A = this chain, B = another copy of it.
Amino acid sequence: MPRPIRKSTAAPLRPPAQAAESFRRSRRDRAVETAQDYVEAIADLTVSPGEARVVTLARRLGVTHVTVNRTVARLQRAGYVRAKPYQAIFLTEAGRKLAAECKRRHETVVAFLRWLGISEKIAELDAEGIEHHVSPETLAAFERLLRKR
């Protein structure tokens, strides 16, 4: 009964494709977020308590050791970590580089939120979600503001 409303027979293809771009990026981001969280946590744990083990990672990330296991295997395939059965997990050069970038970006986002007057706790919480979606341009804008504060 109710017929679809269409502006023309030839459906518009350009404008919608452009509008979809931000959604696509947002989704694609999700695939690397986990990797970033893991390498950052591994880098932390390698400093203290001295090495990254499966259970320690699981506690830090709030998941079971099974999830950690599978994800670490994937990160190894992707070339970010080295891991052998029943041993500690180490970052590769690529992993260390990624971790450093993430750490810097995370700290910038937290500092920026703190500058806005957000409490330490909320800033940490929000940053964890936000940091993965901040473009270089926006990160630069954050840093600019923090410098001239």
Which residues of A come within 8 Å of B, CB atoms? Answer: 1-2, 4-7, 11, 13, 16-17, 19-26, 29-30, 33, 37, 49-51, 53, 55-56, 59-63, 87-88, 113, 116-119, 122, 124-130, 132-135, 137-138, 141-142, 145
Contact = CB atoms under 8 A, between A and B. Distances in A.
A51 B5 contact: yes
A91 B118 CA distance: 34
Contacts of A141: 113, 116-118
Given A116-B141, A137-B118, A141-B116, A51 B126 contact: no
Given A49-B6, A113-B138, A26 B145 contact: no
A99 B79 CA distance: 40
Q: Which of A5, A7, A127 is packed against the most chain B CB atoms within 10 Å?
A: A5
A54 to B, nearest CB: 10
23 contacts: A1-B87, A4-B51, A5-B50, A5-B51, A6-B49, A20-B59, A20-B61, A20-B62, A20-B63, A22-B125, A22-B127, A23-B128, A25-B125, A25-B128, A25-B129, A26-B128, A30-B30, A116-B141, A116-B142, A116-B145, A122-B137, A126-B133, A126-B135
